Amino acid sequence: MTCAVLSIGTELTRGELVNTNASWLSAALTDLGFEVIEQAVVDDEKERIVATVERLSRLVPVIVCTGGLGPTTDDLTTVAVASALGVGLERDEASLELIRRRLEKFGRTMSDSNAKQADFPAGAAILANPIGTAPGFGVTLNGTRAFFMPGVPREMKRMYEEQVVPRIRDLAQKVSHQIHFRTFGLPESVVGERLAGVEEAFPGVTIGYRAHFPEIEVKVLARAALGADKKSTEDAARDLAERAAAEVKTRLADVIYGDGDDTFAGVVGRALRTRGLTLAIAESCTGGLVGHMLTKEPGASDYLLLDAVTYANSAKQTVLGVDEEVLRGHGAVSPEVACRMAEGARRVAGSDVALSITGVAGPTGGTDAKPVGLVYLAVATAKGTVVKERRFPGERFNIQTLAAYVGLAMVRDAANEGR
Amino acid sequence: MTCAVLSIGTELTRGELVNTNASWLSAALTDLGFEVIEQAVVDDEKERIVATVERLSRLVPVIVCTGGLGPTTDDLTTVAVASALGVGLERDEASLELIRRRLEKFGRTMSDSNAKQADFPAGAAILANPIGTAPGFGVTLNGTRAFFMPGVPREMKRMYEEQVVPRIRDLAQKVSHQIHFRTFGLPESVVGERLAGVEEAFPGVTIGYRAHFPEIEVKVLARAALGADKKSTEDAARDLAERAAAEVKTRLADVIYGDGDDTFAGVVGRALRTRGLTLAIAESCTGGLVGHMLTKEPGASDYLLLDAVTYANSAKQTVLGVDEEVLRGHGAVSPEVACRMAEGARRVAGSDVALSITGVAGPTGGTDAKPVGLVYLAVATAKGTVVKERRFPGERFNIQTLAAYVGLAMVRDAANEGR
């Protein structure tokens, strides 16, 4: 069943506040089996609220709304909904008493503007707010169930769970199950081409993509129509999602690095940790990004000994022992220096594995022979040193990020292959 | 003049993504003098995109839209807009050539799905995308100017600034002038208290805040109603903004670090560069974040010699020469070790200034004596070494970020004071 999420507030339409309520509610409604087809945000203008509630009530059978229930003059949701229904406001004495008591608990007395929060469109069902002054309410407009909640996230979330979910759960009619994969190594268009035909092969499945440079997240969403037995429908949705996900996994085997909750650095760290391997890094053009990615996550101290960001040539010599002649003869951006950096980091730190990255991140410093984007990456282990040359496209940000990912992938592969 | 922001994408209506594009665009349009009366979000369903574009075109004279321009099958914005206009798609050879070249630069060949991104509704004005494959486009529908841009935030922001603003600026009917300040060192509520009364003292001025942990951006927006003479209105708005900004600057003198386009790392780099000073860093709990912040910006090679991320105690000894007895006697998180790290980094790299950071970033590793959040930071120069103890609140992310900022502030101050 479809539904819509409505958010009311000029602080939203002016962009002063990011609308996290809409995404939270949309995720919760999707989980419940609803298809959210629209999120609407309008400013604190009574006529626009009336028009939008009217319009949505003709579009979807369920509307979940937040905002505009506060005590100030710009809080107009209740009067707007009464106007859309063509009814008056009625004061609810029980709610008034609860508001009075709540204010007293905070050492305050009730004002007219507080009392206004006990007014509801005639006939509305009142939704209790145990952790704030503004109760919510539910009405039926043009056959649509519409629920109005405060905009304060924690009050809204609790009211949704306790008051709204029990009233709409049985309307969802569909049950969905979603499986996520995280990939690195292919652009979105190629990932999409690899998965051509999967939706057709598994009716009820939708494939979604989300780009987070340089990663592409792939989402497999399966929906099943609600049968007599909710449990068996849930099983059917999960089974469908799992079958489609297995196909996706086969087609993207070389680029999927983990599931929904994994991070690339986390997966690399896990590969090292499970094998009891230690790591040293020598960065140049990535300037500390690899170390930052690994140490953003807790637990890097299990394996990371050293990240020597040897930005100047002098530091490459002093800290990593790279020979001055090698630097002069081949230049800092060369396979030779990459190898010496990795070997030097491994020796200095006494680690099992060492990664080095040296390149031209730009925007300046490129030459015909060594253009912006040219990067050398080396991994040194007890079995020897391997070096890769890559030419990364894009701007400084892209080059640094891609270099860090490719370097981390080399570390992961070395750990997994026991190299 | 009113306008609306439209976002297209099932990842939004499913709540998988928080709609930061809508708030960013709304803030930018508000700054430009527009009144954003609605934000709409619809899923990747052609008929719903058509209906929403139609509806908004009858509501507002300007629509700014993001999303659905990608290469995959769920990207339907272009066909939907063509359908709303009642026109066909036309392939733009110039765009096709740019896409081809961009893909070649990345070592890829063009597929049908990439080529699709060169298709536009007949008669559309093409909006260049210098940093991505999907160009945007602008059309006029029912007299409304509508602009369609990719959903990738950095591509969208650049296209909006370079392509959309010049096309809509004159429609705003209000002239506004905005001055931004970037601050670090106070929470948003305290920044707000410091600026109490500024709006009242300068009628026509709105103060806005945007939190980007750990920074607070302060926006001074002055508006003047468009008179007969646009030039004099612009002058009036600028003059008002400048007078209010001077007051803001006085009240926040101790925490403003720069203007709209500055970054904190950029300001630190500038302080070193203008004095011809070189820098070495020794990081522990920040794991490379300081180096990453400095080298994300071009030009760090002017001053940065070395960032030794000595995560393991053994690396603190080998690379920085920190005495084993000092480490054993005081522990790695101690003022003594912070000083030895900074002095070691300065000696090894031969730099003018050296910064060290050692602490407990958590979530584990804290003790009663050295709890999570305890960080020591030291700066060594020819004049000696100063060390600071700080206790940062929050989670790992907050602690690492605050430590990096405080460390960079110490380097800036040392450079500016000629220490």
By the CB < 8 Å criterion, does A393 face chain B?
yes
Angle, helices A396-416 vs A289-296, to 10°: value is 60
Q: What is the mean pLDDT of chain B?
A: 93
Return the pLDDT at B42: 97
Same domain, A304 and A349: yes
Beta-bridged to residue B359, according to DSSP, are: B375
In the numeric block, which tokens belong to residue A160?
A: 């949704």
Residue A39: list chain B partners with CB under 8 A. Answer: 12-13, 19, 39-41
Coil, helix or strand at residue B184: strand
pLDDT band, residue A110 (cuts 50/70/90): confident
**Distance between CA atoms of residues B68 and B63, nearest Å:** 15
- Is residue B228 over pLDDT 80? no
Query: Which CATH number fits the domain that encloses residue A228?
Result: 3.30.70.2860
Domain of A378: which CATH number? Answer: 3.90.950.20
A342 contact partners, CB below 8 Å, separation of at least 6: A282, A354, A355, A356, A378, A379, A380, A385
Cis before B214? omega within 30: yes
The answer on A299 and A233 residing in a single domain is no
Hey, how many other C-beta atoms are within 10 angstroms of the C-beta on A117?
Answer: 24
Do B94 and B240 share a domain, yes or no? no
**Rounded-to-integer distance, Cα A87 and Cα A9, Å:** 23
- The band of A104, judged by pLDDT with boundaries at 50, 70 and 90, is confident
Identify the residue with better confidence: A55 or A212.
A55
List pLDDT tens digits, range A224-234: 887 777 788 88
State the pLDDT at residue B327. Answer: 97
- B40 in Cβ contact with A38 (< 8 Å): yes
CB contact (8 A) between residue A287 and residue B296: yes
Q: Is B376 a residue whose pLDDT tops 90?
A: yes
* Predicted local distance difference test score (pLDDT) of residue A184: 96
The confidence band for B69, taking pLDDT boundaries of 50, 70 and 90, is: very high
Partner B, chain A 329-348, Cβ-Cβ below 8 Å: 348
- How much is the pLDDT for A34? 92
Q: Does the distance separating the beta carbons of A37 and B42 come in below 8 Å? A: yes
**Nearest-CA distance from A281 to chain B in Å?**
9
A48 vs B: CB within 8 A: yes
Point out the residue among A23, A289, A364 whose CB comes nearest to the CB of B18.
A23
Q: What is the mean pLDDT of residues A316-323?
A: 98
Using pLDDT thresholds of 50, 70 and 90, give the confidence band for residue A76. very high
Q: Chain A partners of B102 at a C-beta cutoff of 8 Å?
A: 393
In the structure, what pLDDT confidence band is assigned to residue B310 with cuts at 50, 70 and 90? very high
Give how far B247 is from chain A: nearest CA, Å.
22
CB contact under 8 A, A18 and B17: no
Residue appearing with tokens 């063009």: B110
8 Å CB contact between A196 and B71: no
> Are A342 and A317 a contacting pair, CB within 8 Å?
no
Could you tell me which residue, A238 or A111, shows the higher pLDDT?
Answer: A238
Tell me whether residues A306 and B289 touch, CB distance under 8 A: no
Of residues A16, A314, A395, nearest to B208 (C-beta):
A16
B:154-183 residues touching chain A, CB 8 A cutoff:
none
Weakest mean pLDDT among A73-77, B59-63, B182-186:
A73-77
Residue A8 vs residue A225, higher pLDDT:
A8
For the segment A146-156, the average pLDDT, to the nearest whole number, is 93
Cα B361 to Cα A142, A147, A299, B372: the distances in Å are 55, 43, 11, 6
Q: Are residues B91 and B230 in the same domain?
A: no
Confidence of residue A134 (pLDDT cuts 50, 70, 90): confident
CB contact under 8 A, B396 and A364: no
A 105-164 near B (Cβ less than 8 A): none
Chain B contact set for A215 (CB, 8 A): none
What residues in A contact B38, CB-CB < 8 Å? Answer: 13, 40-43, 48, 52
Query: Which residues of chain B from 312 to 331 reach within 8 Å of chain A, CB to CB?
Result: 312, 314-315, 318-319
Confidence band, pLDDT 50/70/90 cuts, at residue B73: confident
Question: Is it the case that residue B281 has pLDDT exceeding 80?
Answer: yes
Same domain, B273 and B232: no
Residue B250 shares a structural domain with residue B284: no
Structure tokens, A239: 């089974």
pLDDT surpassing 80 at residue B85 = yes
What is the pLDDT, as a whole number, of residue B219?
87
Higher pLDDT among residues A14 and B272, named by residue: B272
Residue A102 has pLDDT above 90, yes or no: no
Q: Give the other-Cβ count within 10 Å of B245's Cβ.
A: 23
Mean pLDDT of B24-38: 92
Other Cβ atoms within 10 Å of A405 Cβ, number:
23
Question: Is A2's Cβ below 8 Å from some Cβ in B?
Answer: no
List the single residue in B with minimal CA-CA distance to A296: B397
Average pLDDT over residues B61-67: 97
Tell me, yes or no, whether B296 and B406 share the same domain: yes
* Per-residue pLDDT at A195: 96
Contact criterion met (CB < 8 Å) for B311 and A300: yes
The alpha-carbon gap from A337 to the nearest alpha carbon of chain B, in Å, equals 16
| Gap between the Cα atoms of B214 and B301, Å rounded | 26
| pLDDT at position B8 | 97
Domain end residue (candidates: A227, A259, A291)? A259
Separation in Å, CA of B41 to nearest CA in chain A: 5
Chain A interface includes B212 (CB < 8 A) = no
Upper half-sphere CA count for residue A295 (Cβ side, 13 Å):
33
Q: Which of A214, A244, A259 is the last residue of a domain?
A: A259
Is residue B233 domain-shared with residue B278, that is, in the same domain? no
Question: Does residue A395 belong to the interface with chain B, where contact is any CB pair within 8 Å?
Answer: yes
The total domain count for chain B is: 3
| Structure confidence at residue A39 (pLDDT) | 97
Q: Which of A14, A52, A296 sits opposite B27 (nearest CB)?
A: A14
Asked whether the predicted pLDDT for residue A294 surpasses 80, the reply is yes
Residue-level pLDDT at A175: 79
pLDDT at residue A72 is higher than 90: no
User: Between chains, do A296 and B287 touch, taking CB under 8 Å as contact?
Assistant: yes
- Does the pLDDT value for residue B210 go beyond 80? no
pLDDT value at position A31?
81
Pairing of strands A144-149, A136-141: antiparallel
Question: Is there a single domain that holds both residue A166 and residue A191?
Answer: no
pLDDT at B177: 86
- My answer on whether B138 and B149 are in the same domain is yes
Both tokens assigned to B89? 């798609």
- When mean pLDDT is compared over A17-31, A254-268, A306-320, B202-216, the highest value belongs to A306-320
How far away is chain B from the Cα of A418, in angstroms, using its nearest Cα? 23
Q: Do A291 and B309 touch (CB under 8 A)?
A: yes
Q: Show the domain range for B74.
A: 2-171
DSSP string, B309-371: EE-SHHHHHHHH---HHHHHHH-SSSHHHHHHHHHHHHHHHT-SEEEEEEE--SSS---SSS-
Nearest-angstrom CA–CA distance, A352 and A281: 11
Which of A5, A157, A307, A374 is the best mutation test for B, with the most CBs of B within 10 A? A307
Stretch B329-340: mean pLDDT: 98
Instruction: For residue range A338-386, list pLDDT tens digits in order.
Output: 999 999 999 999 999 999 999 999 999 999 999 999 999 999 999 999 9
Q: Is A22 on the interface with B (CB under 8 A)?
A: yes
Q: CB-side exposure of B373: number of CA atoms within 13 Å?
A: 8
- Give the distance from CA A150 to its chain's centroid: 25
Query: What is the predicted pLDDT for the residue at B176?
Result: 80
Distance from A51 to chain B by nearest Cα, in Å?
A: 11
pLDDT given for residue A229 in this prediction: 79
Q: How confident is the model at residue A181 (pLDDT cuts 50, 70, 90)?
A: very high
Q: Return the percentage of chain A with pLDDT > 70, whole number.
A: 100
3-class secondary structure, B260: coil
- The answer to whether residue A74 scores a pLDDT higher than 80 is no
Minimal CA separation from B303 to chain A, in Å: 9
Examine the fold and report which residue of A171, A194, A225 is the final residue of a domain before the chain moves on: A171
Given an 8 Å threshold on Cβ–Cβ distance, is B396 in contact with A286?
A: no
Mean pLDDT confidence for B101-110: 84
Token output for A17: 């506040």
Mark whether B132 and B179 lie in a shared domain. Answer: no
Of A25, A193, A296, Cβ closest to residue B111: A193
Tell me, what CATH number does A86's domain have? Answer: 3.40.980.10
Give yes or no: residues A403 and A303 share one domain: yes
- Pairwise pLDDT comparison (B53 vs B131), residue with the higher score: B53
pLDDT at A173 over 80: no
Greater pLDDT, B206 or B25? B25
Interface test with A, best of B10, B297, B320 (most A CBs within 10 A): B10
Each residue of A287-306: b (16+ CB within 10 Å) or e? bbbbbbbbbbebebbebbbb
A39, A117, A41: which is closest to A76 by C-alpha?
Answer: A117
Tell me the average pLDDT of chain A. Answer: 93
Please write down the HEC assignment for all residues of chain A: CEEEEEEECHHHHCCCCCCHHHHHHHHHHHHCCCEEEEEEEECCCHHHHHHHHHHHHHHCCEEEEECCCCCCCCCCHHHHHHHHHCCCEEECHHHHHHHHHHHHHCCCCCCHHHHHHHEEECCCEEECCCCCCCCEEEEEECCEEEEEECCCHHHHHHHHHHHHHHHHHHHCCEEEEEEEEEEECCCHHHHHHHCCCHHHHCCCEEEEEEEECCEEEEEEEEEEECCCCHHHHHHHHHHHHHHHHHHHHHHCCCCEEEECCCCHHHHHHHHHHHCCCCEEEEECCCCCHHHHHHHHCCCHHHCEEEEEEECCHHHHHHHHCCCHHHHHHHCCCCHHHHHHHHHHHHHHHCCCEEEEEEECCCCCCCCCCCCCCEEEEEEEECCEEEEEEEECCCCHHHHHHHHHHHHHHHHHHHHHCCC
Q: Which two tokens stand for residue B357?
A: 């950071």
